[in-house]
Structure 1
Amino acid sequence: MKQINLLALLLSLMVLGTACQNRQNRNEQAPENIRVSNTPVPSWSKDAVIYEVNIRQYTPEGTFNAFAEHLPRLKELGVDILWLMPVHPIGEKNRKGSLGSYYSIKDYKGINPEFGTLDDFKALVQKAHEMDMHLILDWVANHTAWDHPWIAEHPQWYTKNEAGEIIPPVEDWTDVADLDYSNAQLREAMIDAMAYWVKEADIDGFRCDVAGMVPVDFWEAAREALENIKPVWMLAEDEAEINLLNNAFNANYGWEFHHIMNGVAKGEKNALDVAAYFQKIDTLYPKGSWPMQFTSNHDENSWNGTAPERLGKALKTMAALTFTVEGMPLIYSGQEVGLNKRLRFFDKDTIEWKESEMTPFYQTLTKLKKENPALWNGTAGGHLQIITTNAPENIFAFVREKENNRVVAFFNLSDQSVSLFSENGPQGNFTDLFSGNTVSLPADGLLLQPWDFKIFIHY
């Protein structure tokens, strides 16, 4: 069990009291029945598409400099935020595989020499900024490697069992040791390490690993400290602890929607499950925050299968969904060229870069998102309103509107053809995204083939 540190508890209560006062001041104009996120939202995130970078597997060299050669291509793809998996030295004690896990950190202020030098990393950040992209680091605050210096220097910073032995956070995570956030000195050291990268390398924020396993008030204190340096954007790898979105994080993981999409592709779920999810997040998420929506990421790809493997004929359908529903869409390394390989997690396994129909497809989706404020993130975008149709189990239909911009979408989430009739959809002339033709809505009798989808735009 984690031992309770009285000083840390008092500090936590002070931070929480300040946060509550800030919430009260900021929300004076908000209706009482609407939860509002007080987390600062950088302007550059409002229409952003995020891209996860697996440096180890990205090129044969597996270095920052080799990856930097891909930045022009990613800019053309429409990427805005580059999320780099952890770049720190990896622990050797209890290491898994030949190269170990990115998430077993031996030095929070160091660079994995396999990837290059600190100067190489700084150059990558600068080049991304020059191309009007932003870069965030994957941060592992919950645990360290077993050979991190803190183990010897500050054993009181770690969780211990009844025998006084340091333990992993999860039994199977044998390559890492769990940190104890009841210790105020640990909190101070962790925030100092995060601030180092913002000050030293000018990064733009963090994706925080297993964020829900670290106390909310720590993240709130960390966010406040970082904002004193520069505006940042933060993503929580979490979905259960919604309070992370109140004052610390801008977005969390849309895990539930991800699993629903997988279930729909297998015929185990249907469009009603999709509709229920978005009706739920309407009331669940604080206004101004949003989920990150994805069909793949490093965990899903390595452990549960590639997107083509899991989604089959529904691959493009689900990808298009993540770009049009509420939330920020993610592209994982290689998805833009149809990656259909489970990348090894603890060993070298280079992505094969090739021509693919998925590249122009993703370019179309990123362009769609940027050019249509209705599809932007959080309060910058339009609310998703479900359209009732004659086939609610098969068709997920919705409209999103912001100012004079409307986007209407019809998704056939089944392997059956459907002749579509809508009951409460918008009317008027719209442009078909893929054909460029003008279409008059409601398009009653519209035939949607299996896994077919239509996206219509009105300005």
Structure 2
Amino acid sequence: MTEPFWWQHGVIYQIYPRSFQDSNGDGIGDLKGIESRLDDLVVLGVDAIWISPIYPSPMADFGYDVADYTGIDPRFGTLADFDSLLEAAHDRGLKLLLDFVPNHSSDQHPWFVESRSSRDNPKRDWYIWRDPGPDSGPPNNWISDFGGPAWQWDEATGQYYYHAFLKEQPDLNWRNPELRQAMLDVLRFWFDRGVDGFRIDVLWHMIKHADFPDNPANPAYTPAMGEMHRVLQLHSTDQPEVHGIAANMRRVADRYSERVLVGEIYLPVERLMHYYGRGEPGVHLPFNFQLIDAPWDAPSLARLIADYEAALPPGGWPNWVLGNHDRPRAATRFGPEQARVAATLLLTLRGTPTLYYGDEIGMADVTIPADQVQDPRELREPGIGLGRDPVRTPMAWDSSANAGFSVGTPWLPLHDDWQVRNLAAQRDDPRSMWRLHHDLLALRRKHAALSVGDWLPIECAGNLLAYERHHEGERLLVVLNLGDRPEAFAIPEWAEDLNVLLTTGTGDDPAILGPNEGYILG
């Protein structure tokens, strides 16, 4: 293997900017707040930060409705504030990734204002406009991911426009070469400014079937799944032409030094692999979300990891994710003890891990009172558990007012136990969740076998998951108990003389793992 790129041996830390650190007392996190916390991230031991959207936006979907792709929303600061943050991050050896939202813009973006103004406007084809269907209704049966029809009638011009999400988020038409060039210029704008990469929002959505046929009904649909699942998104997502777009983005990134593209793609593994490239390189890291939805038992996870490793194309680098701004937090899914085991798994598998802010202190989902719900997803389909506010609540830094997040009223409520579950309280506690993450990250830096080494499964029974990581003669053993009962483990002969480098439990006897215990021997 050649010398690995930074994004291969590094760990990415996702920041939801509204909830990370407020510097001006308005209850909303901002760029100056992020800059003030960079030293905390250096101490934690991450290598890069990915910041969710900070562009000017009406905030119909909290920044994923972009009104200007080359600016900063005043709520978060200014371009000068961004440049200061970028310089401060680089001074500390941290990389910085931005969120790129290329599938759709805000309906207040100047491009859409022009497109909507008349059928013969030069930017009309920059968005997806269609005549009514035969019944004078929407052109087809496609459903918005936020529920309801994906088509919005425009009275002034007598056509529908397509929106995969909110009606305030019209989809861009990536079949139009001028639009495509304008969006690639956005990447160049930020790369020229020094940004180290992008997470690309809903990459698999970006091209639709040219003929717009109906999507087939989903025979497994139940209302609890959300209305979007009433049909299978066969024709509205994952079209073959999207790989050409990914290749175009990759060509832009490759003209700069060591930039990285991470694609958000919720697809089965066999289709996910295509986003590494089909004939020419695609994105460097198609997000692998399998740990978020996987059955949490040892046999299932062992198969999942092995199948993913086997599916990777030549040169394809793996990556793993436990949580993000859209999905329930690990501490809620697994409970506080098993969440420690899950963190050990995330940070010891082969590939690039992405860590979601707050998971390092064990933050769980927060119950949001009905009168404080902000998320349009929850407001459109309430009561079925699809709301994202519970995982976007403010970071807890210390036991001062509002957990040190803001001197004002936070935009979302804090978790109930913030006075004890905060970074300051955990930093000096050797048994804390923060200390576990810190120590795992330190081990990754010290032992190349954990960051870039090969992965080999070790057969075991019961609730145990075990594997070897090795690199240039170094061999490490990782054993995890995914259950709540003690489990015996037969240590391989080659590992009998190894020492316990880290344990989530007592580590008294590596041959017997306590409930919810994991360890690393080396």
- Identify the TM-score tier after normalising by the shorter chain: 0.7 to 0.9
Say yes or no: does 1:307 pair with 2:276: no
More helix per residue: 1
Which residue pairs with 1:196 in the alignment? Answer: 189
SS at match of 2:14: strand
Which residue pairs with 2:356 in the alignment? Answer: 332
Which of 101, 104, 110 aligns to 1:143? It is 104
SS at match of 2:326: helix
The residue type equivalent to 2:197 in the other structure is G
SS at match of 1:144: coil
Which residue pairs with 2:394 in the alignment? Answer: 350
8 Å Cα contact 2:503/2:520 also seen in 1: no
Give the C-alpha shift of residue 162 in structure 1: 3.4
Which of 160, 166, 169 aligns to 1:165? It is 160
Identify which of structures 1 and 2 has the higher relative contact order when contacts are C-alpha pairs closer than 8 Å and 6+ apart: 1
Give percent identity, aligned residues only.
Answer: 27
Task: Determine the C-alpha separation between the residues in 2 that align with 1:349 and 1:321.
Answer: 25
Distance 1:295 1:435, change over 3 A: closer
* RMSD over aligned Cα atoms: 2.5
TM-score (ref. length: structure 1): 0.79
Counterparts of residues 19-168 of structure 1 (less than 5 Å): 43-61=5-23, 62-91=29-58, 95=60, 100-153=61-114, 154-163=123-132, 164-168=159-163
8 Å Cα contact 2:187/2:252 also seen in 1: no
Which of 423, 434, 454 aligns to 2:502? It is 434
Give the C-alpha shift of residue 349 in structure 1: 4.8
Counterparts of residues 216-295 of structure 1 (less than 5 Å): 216-240=243-267, 241-246=272-277, 247-260=281-294, 263-264=295-296, 270-295=297-322
8 Å Cα contact 1:251/1:290 also seen in 2: yes
Give the C-alpha shift of residue 83 in structure 1: 0.2
User: Residues 47-77 of structure 1: CA distance to partner in whole angstroms, max 9, x if unpaired?
Assistant: 1011001111112332211211110110010
Say yes or no: does 1:297 pair with 2:324: yes
The residue type equivalent to 1:311 in the other structure is F
Aligned residues: 387
8 Å Cα contact 2:276/2:316 also seen in 1: yes
Task: Determine the C-alpha separation between the residues in 1 that align with 2:186 and 2:4.
Answer: 22
SS at match of 2:470: strand
The residue type equivalent to 1:374 in the other structure is A
8 Å Cα contact 2:11/2:353 also seen in 1: yes
8 Å Cα contact 1:254/1:293 also seen in 2: yes
Task: Determine the C-alpha separation between the residues in 1 that align with 2:306 and 2:273.
Answer: 16
Task: Determine the C-alpha separation between the residues in 1 that align with 2:356 and 2:65.
Answer: 21
8 Å Cα contact 2:495/2:521 also seen in 1: no
Distance 1:415 1:169, change over 3 A: same
Give the C-alpha shift of residue 229 in structure 1: 3.5
Give the C-alpha shift of residue 426 in structure 1: 3.1
The residue type equivalent to 1:73 in the other structure is D
Say yes or no: does 1:180 pair with 2:211: no
Give the C-alpha shift of residue 428 in structure 1: 4.8
Say yes or no: does 1:362 pair with 2:437: yes
Runs of 5+ consecutive residues of structure 1 not aligned to the other structure: 1-29, 31-39, 265-269
Which residue pairs with 2:203 in the alignment? Answer: 211
Distance 1:185 1:425, change over 3 A: farther
Distance 1:186 1:383, change over 3 A: same
Task: Determine the C-alpha separation between the residues in 2 that align with 1:450 and 1:345.
Answer: 38
User: Residues 232-257 of structure 1: CA distance to partner in whole angstroms, max 9, x if unpaired?
Assistant: 01111115332221312221222122
Task: Determine the C-alpha separation between the residues in 1 that align with 2:364 and 2:188.
Answer: 37
TM-score (ref. length: structure 2): 0.70
SS at match of 1:411: strand
Runs of 5+ consecutive residues of structure 2 not aligned to the other structure: 24-28, 115-122, 133-158, 207-241, 376-388, 398-421, 427-431
User: Residues 60-99 of structure 1: CA distance to partner in whole angstroms, max 9, x if unpaired?
Assistant: 332211211110110010010110001101136xx2xxxx
Give the C-alpha shift of residue 41 in structure 1: 9.3
